[in-house]
Structure 1
């Protein structure tokens, strides 16, 4: 009966995907989700069917033009049998995973590690392992760490202790699921389980909620702490500050066997890993005010760079402030949470991510340390959740609950997307997994993890994919909204002309059609607008060779947009008034000015103009200094979203001074247009 256990991890995940959807799932959809070929998916389905056959369960059937659908009673049977599968499933590690396994294993150092140990861990050849070791050396060099081999002691990593620990948590977070599923084994598994159990009790006593997976990572790290000879050193003030927290008192209670410095380090991790803000006894009043000030700096920097006005600016500042309370300590002490959503956020919200990264430079300047991309990604979600793309109607009684263990910023972004996808939704509420109760009145429950016995559940990625959006649309269409009324009306008419079986198929295709139509409308609405190559044409490019004062230059730069109805005269007047009031606020580099004002000041359409000033225009600063503009751009927007991509392109072009010079030296408007296209192609 060995065949009973022939499900590998990939088959297991495909089967779970099928179990938690109420619709047909096509082979192409599975292939796209898992990054596989269709041939591989067919092979995996064959293996799943072998397992189902051994379990005496109905096999999966692929219906032509539809895909796979599992009936409700069949799902319950499969779920029961899945629980009996041993946790250790066959798994083939990716090259990046093998490199991270090597690095984390050496950093843990539960014993001497040699090349044969890595061969056994990763189940690859000696030559492949040698290549992986070279890649690990390159990866560590990015953090000023060095992997080396010492005779009689095995592989070791040399460098700053805080950095080494930071790298461990960064990489281990991405491997944690492999350990949990049994594809990898912790060197001190029983000890790690004991520490994890104590950490969960500590979490409960604190009434706190920690970032998903972080307690498991902490348990794995501290399970081998006795093998480490180095310890983190704290100043007297830092030590006292940590000791004054409730976290430290609970560490004393639950981990009395730890050395003093490791108790402090553990408390520090607990302080920096919450999804909520820190406890008030940790943040003194003046420090709290400082964090609030930094949040304002960041939000207003984003607002200035992105040319947006947040309707709920104070609420956003409070949300960012709560995030910074924990993250500032992470930056300072190298506490690394990692962000498993980083690549997804870059892919889905690339333009927003880049603008957030630009805005974060103002924060980096204030605090004196760089902010890692993983943190930029979290902050991106905060900004994305508060950018409004228009009015939302709340006419229907469709209620949705988002249960998200990945933090409020992720949940808020999911909520924003749901409102955009299904404008008729009355309520989208957010709760943590610990607050979820089976007895609720929500029509749809959306979560990034499985919730047992939840009939209305949709499993989604932390960053919604297109298939997630389709699932949400289809589920919501079963409740009262405009599209469902259309489906009901059309099927009522069609009933006269077709059999019951045909009518059922017809209704399913109608729902599919309306879902696809809604998704296309959503995609069009949710895009962050045109690129600079699409938005800027020859009519809005000019080269001015004569001298003029700054007010004349503003009128000249905006004239083409005014004449074609992109903006009104009041928009230009407001730009001039703001410059008089605040000084030359619009400079994005030493010699490039990006002129804009609020939408309500007279901006009607998305547009951009580019003016090359052969005789740079002088702007007086409020302190009596001067700024000279060689290039003036005028931006007009129609909403808070559609100009984001255009802005990101502008930042990309002018981040290097040499690009400003290239454009300034152009003698014809056609040359300016061609140069901008070439600069953007170079970036791609």
Structure 2
């Protein structure tokens, strides 16, 4: 490398690297600037840093006049290597990341937090830390948590708020970090927090592995299957939540008040399971949890989404079931959609809403990463779901966000009756999806709509697929995951199919191959529309209408072609 300048690549440099690696066609600096929301000057600055890290035998990345940038194979290979070498020693945190790290440290550290310790933690100057702290105060004043950052000689830096509010905030912060932050920053966070927190035992690999092994027993005792991605997040977040609680200096009266806040939890089976986990932790690691800490574990178990719940038919939830049934009836009465297997739908919705109510009660965040795709791809279904959601809001005295509505939309979308009566006679197609039962159902409906001539027989998780792979007689596979170790024909798509996915699916179903010309259709359409429509929202709406029109024409064309084949 030329002078080893690659060690100064920061998050923005990494974002540019990822964008360049993904380019299939030449892209101008102006377009890259808009996509990454960075100035052109910044893009050129990061290009200089990236080029400085290139080996001598590989030509630097240059933007050609009126053409832009497109990486050669050798440049793309070097860029991938640079990304793979970014670690906690070479990664430079931006302001947002420094603030997140400081807030996390302030919440969980048991020692007095001084300015010097924050400087050591973030590895920046005194003035930079002071500016970051001022920005933290400003942002906290605008958030819903009603927290104030203060400093005193006796305690150093700390957050003034209700004890449960601090726990809710730390859960929200960590949920965002573990689902959205770069891998390099998460690596820094985990290394530094473990080192500076003064409690390495809670972050030990042995404890993490032990908790992971407990999952099967937890689900067996609960009679429920927790969404896999959420149980993994829970195991990551739990040590931080316990440390946040232990970092508080609470009087017995304050602890008694928190115990009363958890009254709903003690009636649920999850509390008994949390007690068993606590007992196991004490036996294996000498880790003694008090009643509040056990309750926190129970709250997480109650709040996270379930793929299966054997208890939703119990009498305890009869009133909830009536509300869910009323929501389904309202949706059917006020829409042209027809639902099938409504009892199964009610069962799935009830399991989802039980967890949702506990999340609302205890302020536990659960983000829906597909909300924007669902809102645009299934705009009519989303709006009709939202108009019926007042049934749930009024009955349970809650307010549903667009993310909550999107989850409900997924459940309803997976239960829509197909309007086509086309006879399915072709070989079988199987789906592979680890995103949870509701997303699996919606994915199947999408594939059935766009491939009506195919028999979509089943949806597997990756684990289920590997166990039956040798027994399958299959035309091809459609997967939302990267499946590299199979000899069967497979195409990878998003859980919510975008327009490029639809084109590739139709082509793959016909020819069992992918063509480069189809991979960037949406990108090319963006370029074309940008030349004629200046308003971004209008361009997006026009793009969606064109895509729907083209997709319908392709579908009709494909059906006509198959009919001609059958006739002759």
TM-score, structure 1 as length reference: 0.57
How many angstroms does 1:431 deviate by? 3.6
Query: What's the offset of the Cα at 1:274?
Result: 4.2
Q: How does 1:98-247 map to 2 (within 5 A)?
A: 103-113=103-113, 121=122, 125=128, 128-140=131-143, 142-176=144-178, 178=181, 180-182=183-185, 184-186=188-190, 187-188=193-194, 190=200, 191-194=202-205, 195-206=207-218, 208=225, 209-212=227-230, 213-230=233-250, 231=255, 232-234=258-260, 238-239=265-266, 241-242=268-269, 245-247=272-274
* CA–CA separation in structure 1 for the residues paired with 2:33 and 2:396: 44
In structure 2, the partner of 1:257 is: 288
Q: CA distance change for structure 1 residues 167 and 513 in 2, over 3 Å: closer, same or farther?
A: closer
Give the 3 Å change call, closer, same or farther, for CA 138–411 of structure 1 in structure 2: farther
Question: Once the 2 structures are TM-superposed, how far is the Cα of residue 117 of structure 1 from its aligned partner?
Answer: 6.0
Deviation for aligned residue 1:307: 5.5
Separation in structure 2 between the aligned mates of residue 135 and residue 476 of structure 1, nearest angstrom: 51
Tell me, in whole angstroms, the C-alpha distance in 1 between the residues paired with 2:16 and 2:355.
36
1:300–1:200 distance in 2 versus 1, CA, 3 Å: same
Name the CA shift for 1:355/1:520 in 2 (closer, same or farther; >3 Å). Answer: closer
Residue correspondence of structure 1 range 70-81 to structure 2 within 5 A? none
- Partners of 1:429 and 1:45 in 2: how far apart? 47
Measure how far apart 1:103 and its partner are: 4.8
Note the C-alpha offset of 1:262. 0.6
In the TM superposition, what whole-angstrom CA distance separates every residue of 1:123-167 from its partner, at most 9, and x where no partner exists? Answer: 683574255224333233x23444444443234334443333223
Deviates more, 1:115-124 or 1:350-359: 115-124
* Contact 2:478–2:493, Cα closer than 8 Å, also in 1: no
Could you say if the C-alpha distance between residues 159 and 303 of structure 1 is closer, same or farther in structure 2, counting changes exceeding 3 Å? farther
CA distance in 2, matches of 1:159, 1:397: 61
Matching residue of 2:304: 273
Q: Which has the higher helix share?
A: 2
User: What is the deviation of 1:101?
Assistant: 5.0
**Preserved contact between residue 400 and residue 443 of structure 1 (Cα < 8 Å):** yes
The 3 A distance-change label for structure 1 pair 83 and 514 is: closer
Structure 2 counterpart of 1:27: 27
CA distance in 1 between partners of 2:484 and 2:519 (Å): 27
- Paired residues in the alignment total 492
- 1:269, distance to aligned residue in structure 2 (A): 1.0
Is residue 270–residue 302 contact of structure 2 (8 Å, CA) maintained in 1?
no
| Higher Rg of the two aligned structures | 1
Instruction: Pick the aligned partner of 1:447 from 480, 494, 503.
Output: 480
Query: How far apart, CA to CA, are the structure 1 residues paired with 2:189 and 2:242?
Result: 15
Matches of 1:39 and 1:162, distance apart in 2: 45
CA drift at 1:285? 1.5
For 1:380 and 1:150, how far apart are their aligned partners in 2? 49
- Could you list the runs of 5+ residues in structure 2 that have no partner in the other structure? 220-224, 526-542, 553-568
Contact 1:277 1:323 in 2 (8 A): no
CA contact (8 A) 1:403 1:436 kept: no
1:424 and 1:51 map into 2 onto residues whose CA distance is: 51
Structure 2 SS opposite 1:399 = strand
Aligned residue number for residue 404 of structure 1: 434
For 1:60 and 1:471, locate their aligned partners in 2 and report how far apart those are by CA, in whole Å: 30
Q: Is the 8 A contact 1:342 1:377 kept in 2?
A: yes
Partner of 1:277, secondary structure, is strand
SS at 2:479's partner residue? strand
Length-normalised TM-score, structure 2: 0.67
Match of 2:507 among 477, 493, 496: 477
Post-superposition offset of 1:261:
2.3
Q: Answer whether contact 1:27 1:42 (CA < 8 A) is retained.
A: no
How far, CA to CA, are the matches of 2:249 and 2:411 in structure 1?
A: 40
Contact 2:91 2:185 in 1 (8 A): no
Shift of 1:378: 2.0
Give the match for residue 532 of structure 2. none
User: Cα distance, 1:478 vs. partner?
Assistant: 3.7
Shift of 1:203: 1.5
Structure 1 position 106, deviation (Å)? 3.9
Deviation at 1:324, TM superposition (A): 1.7
RMSD: 5.0
CA contact (8 A) 1:148 1:156 kept: yes
In 2, the alpha carbon distance for the partners of 1:365 and 1:205 equals: 37
Give the distance between the partners of 2:400 and 2:521, measured in 1 at CA. 44
SS for the counterpart of 2:158 is strand
Preserved contact between residue 174 and residue 340 of structure 1 (Cα < 8 Å): no
Q: For residues 340 and 274 of structure 1, do their structure 2 counterparts lie closer, same or farther at Cα, with a shift above 3 Å needed?
A: same
Contact 2:88/2:185, CA 8 A, preserved across alignment? yes
Residue of structure 2 in register with 1:286 after alignment: 315
Shift of 1:286: 0.7
Mapped partners of 1:150, 1:121: distance in 2:
21
Instruction: Name the counterpart of 2:558.
Output: none
328, 351, 361: which is aligned to 2:357? 328
Is 2:8–2:92's contact at 8 Å kept on the other side of the alignment? no
Distance 1:106 1:275 in 2: 33
**Alpha-carbon offset, residue 325 of structure 1:** 3.0
SS at match of 1:437: helix
| Matched position secondary structure for 2:87 | coil
Q: Which residue of the other structure, out of 388, 406, 415, is the alignment partner of 1:377?
A: 406
| In structure 1, C-alpha distance between the alignment counterparts of 2:392 and 2:185, rounded to whole Å | 41
